[in-house]
Chains A and B, each alone.
Chain A
Amino acid sequence: MANDLSLYAAIGSGVAALVSAWFAYLSIRVSKRSLCLSEQQEERHRPHLVPYLMDGYVKFVAHENLRVYGFSLSISNRSDVDDSVAQIELQLTYKAPSGISIAVKARHDTKLNNVFAGGNMAMLPIPLRIDAHQTIAGWVYFGIKEELFRGSAVDKFTIILTDSHDIVSTVEPIIVRELVDETPKS
């Protein structure tokens, strides 16, 4: 009789252990899913600007010997927090006469708005506030003196956006069309 009781007790404890192991397994799964959700939520709180390039032109201002680049950009804030663009720069990579590759940065110059379409295009001001899950679009302009290149061709363009948290996002224009008398050459 005593033996039977201990056997039942042992079986009962074994079943209880199995049930608690099952519940432990279930709670691990639930915790993993909630951790994953919190991480996703945290990720959405991280500032994240995504630039998209819609168009790019270059125009030569002969009397100032200036090359003005104009890019139409849209910037989306995909995070759950408001953000702002602190700086927009154009990085031009060219080969100097000595053979070395130089990447020079020029800042978005709001004064160049009049160079394209008589200043009638919506320009992005700096600093630029972008609320959470919002998209803003407009033109950015960069002026570079022709003497800077000394006849060298630009190998690569990169538009660099720096937000108020010093997080950098980039977009690389491949084809920049030359604009003559407001008519694209190509």
Chain B
Amino acid sequence: MKPQKARITFRSKLEASPVKIVWDGAIATIGVGEGRLIPLVIIDGSDRPDIEELIRIHQYLPSGDVESQWIQLKGGEGKICLRLRFKRPVELVAILEFDIIGQGGLIDQIVTAKAIYLQAGREGDRLATTTDSPRMSVEVPDTGFYNEWNRMLMKWTEKGFRQRGLNRQDAKSATREFIEKWRSFGRFRMKGPQVE
């Protein structure tokens, strides 16, 4: 599906601004998403107390509803955003902005795992130091973005390699190798005990 220009309306300026991501990583859990490696982002809860509250209360309520959409904001060249529109249990919109060169692997993992974990925190928080913090998983189904993402990933990864001094030919082969290796790493699955 080709990208289309559209005007999106938001309820407030706060919802229209991208949420600050303070850390990212990935978690694979037996019994969740068939053990897939699901990316996790820690967002700055001081900027968005509503998202922080949503993540906290989510642990006391059954699964909610969320719509996801990959978007590129006006003037956001080299960046891609994941717009999450939560409908239940709380209605709110969160925009996660990613840098394609710096966080291409993370975006690729979200696209292939079709899910993301959200956790609220503060500047300096890491997954290792906040293992007990509440987090919520959000499904990100493929809405026709996969092919477009492949094109973007190739273009921007190659650009990144060229910025590091590789010539066009070497940058192309390094890009292919990087994506292949990254995806084989991303295919990792946590396996539960085998039943005989």
Contact = CB atoms under 8 A, between A and B. Distances in A.
Given A105-B90, A106-B89, A100 B61 contact: no
B90 A103 contact: yes
B62 interface: yes
A98 interface: yes
A148 B50 contact: no
B53 A102 contact: yes
Nearest to B65: A105
B140 to A, nearest CB: 22
A107 B60 CA distance: 13
Contacts of B61: 104, 106, 144-145, 148
A96 interface: yes
B17 to A, nearest CB: 16
A120 B90 CA distance: 32
Interface string B38-73: 000000000001101110010011100000000000
Interface residues of B, number: 13
Contacts of A100: 49-50, 53
B177 interface: no
Contacts, number: 37
B180 interface: no
Contacts of A107: 62, 88
A147 interface: yes
A47 to B, nearest CB: 21
Given A102-B90, A103-B91, A105-B88, A144 B60 contact: yes
A147 to B, nearest CB: 6
Contact of B90 (A104, A144, A145, A147): A104
- Is the interface on chain A under 10, 10 to 19, 20 to 34, or 35 or more residues? 10 to 19
A106 B53 CA distance: 15
Contacts of A105: 88-91
A103 B90 CA distance: 6
Contacts of A99: 49
A13 B54 CA distance: 79
Contacts of A98: 49, 52-53
Contacts of B57: 102, 104, 148
A147 B60 contact: yes
A102 B50 contact: yes
Contacts of B54: 102
Nearest to B45: A98
Contacts of B53: 96, 98, 100, 102
Given A89-B88, A103-B90, A148-B61, 12 more contacts: A100-B49, A100-B53, A102-B50, A102-B54, A102-B57, A102-B90, A104-B89, A105-B88, A144-B61, A145-B60, A148-B57, A148-B60
Interface of A: 89, 96, 98-100, 102-107, 144-145, 147-148
Going nearest first, the 7 A-B pairs with the smallest beta carbon separation are A145-B60, A98-B49, A148-B60, A96-B53, A104-B89, A105-B89, A148-B57
